[in-house]
Amino acid sequence: MSDCELFFQCNQKWEELKLTKNLLKRYCHKCQKEVVKCDSVMMLDDCIRHAKCVCYDNIHIPKSRKLPKKFLGSIDFSIRHNFNKDENEN
């Protein structure tokens, strides 16, 4: 399975998503889902574990996770499982 099958990258931009009361959350009218702006790997991990749509950039992602440096979309269970595996190896 190639890396591109492990996540859905949305073509929307964070700036174009509908504002909410929470500065770290916006609403995507296209997917009709809430998107969380992750400002740390720990926050990203938590969102992925709970199958939330995420947006991130400018955070250090370990190379072993094979994720893009900048992303908006959802990450599939296969990658969420790899996050847990990474934690157990450290």
For residue 9, tell me if it sits in a domain.
Answer: no
42 lies in some domain: yes
Residue 4 near residue 13 (C-beta atoms within 8 A): no
**Could you list the residue range(s) of the whole structural domain that residue 35 is in?**
22-59+71-90
pLDDT, tens digit, 9 for 90 and up, residues 12-54: 999 999 999 999 999 999 989 999 999 998 999 899 888 899 9
Does residue 4 form part of some domain?
Answer: no
Query: Per-residue confidence at 82, pLDDT binned at 50, 70, 90?
Result: low
User: Residue 77: its pLDDT value, please?
Assistant: 57
For 6-86, strand residue ranges (E) read 7-9, 18-19, 25-28, 33-37, 53-56, 71-75
